Amino acid sequence: MGRNKAVSATWPGNIMYRKVVQDNLHRYIEARRLSLGWIEKTLISLEILQILKNEYGSRFLSRNQSNWVAIDDAEA
C-alpha cells in the first residue's frame, strides 16, 4: 500500500503482484460485460489475494505511524 513508485517498481513482491494481476486481467475485463459483473470482479480480486498468500506467501503492508504492519484480508 506504499506510494513510492521508484521502490515499488523493482520490489520482487510488487513485480509478482503485477504479474498475477496481469494474468487475471482478461477475466476481470470480461466480468464487466456480465449483468452481475461486480460480484464476479470481487471474486476474481479475492482469488488473486488467495493466490498471492497461498502460493507465494505474500502479505500486504500499511504504514502505521513509523512502522510497517501486515494488514488483514478485508483491508487488503
Looking at the chain, the whole-number percentage of residues with pLDDT higher than 90 is: 28
Q: Please give the distance of CA 55 from its chain centroid, rounded to a whole number.
A: 13
pLDDT in tens, 3-33: 566 667 788 888 899 999 999 999 988 887 7
pLDDT in tens, 45-56: 999 999 999 998
For 48, the grid coordinates are 488473486
φ, ψ at 53 (rounded to 5°): -75, -45
**Listed residue (52, 44, 55) closest to 70, CA to CA:** 52
33 within 8 A of 23, measured Cβ to Cβ: no
68 within 8 A of 59, measured Cβ to Cβ: no
